[in-house]
Amino acid sequence: MRFLKRYWHWIVVTALFVVVVFLLAEVPVGEVRAIRQRVDALSAERDEYSRQIEADSTFLENLKQDDFLERYAREKFYMKREGEEIYVIYEDSLDDSIYSEQQ
């Protein structure tokens, strides 16, 4: 209580200052909050792009190796060596209804 009696004028001046700053500010508090949220969203997007760039850079470095390039071409583009046959089996094409009718 002694604190309030001694410094009441500083508390009032500080409260008035805060009220004046918020009322007379050129940028409303809500707008500042929206801008801050936008900055946070853009920072997250930047971080995601940085991770993607790192992954792509690693992939490009791996493509410089012949064994990785051959494996990637076989898996992604179904390329083959001379005299080699490739059979592609899609798991999604299997129909479960055929198997249930036979049981």
What is the per-residue pLDDT across 51-97, written as a single tens digit (0 to 9) for each?
999 999 999 999 999 999 999 988 888 888 888 887 777 776 555 55
Percent of the chain residues past pLDDT 70, beyond the cut: 84
Q: Pick the closest to residue 9 from 25, 17, 21, 23 (CA basis).
A: 17
pLDDT at position 24 is 74
Are 70 and 76 in contact by the 8 Å Cβ rule? The answer is no
Contact predicate 74/80, CB 8 Å: yes
Residue 94: per-residue pLDDT: 58
What does the pLDDT average to over 9-26? 82
- Alpha carbons 21 and 9: distance in angstroms, whole number: 18
Residue 8: which pLDDT band, with cuts at 50, 70 and 90? Answer: confident
Q: What is the pTM of this model?
A: 0.53
Contact indicator for 85, 75 with CB cutoff of 8 Å: no
Nearest-angstrom CA–CA distance, 86 and 88: 6
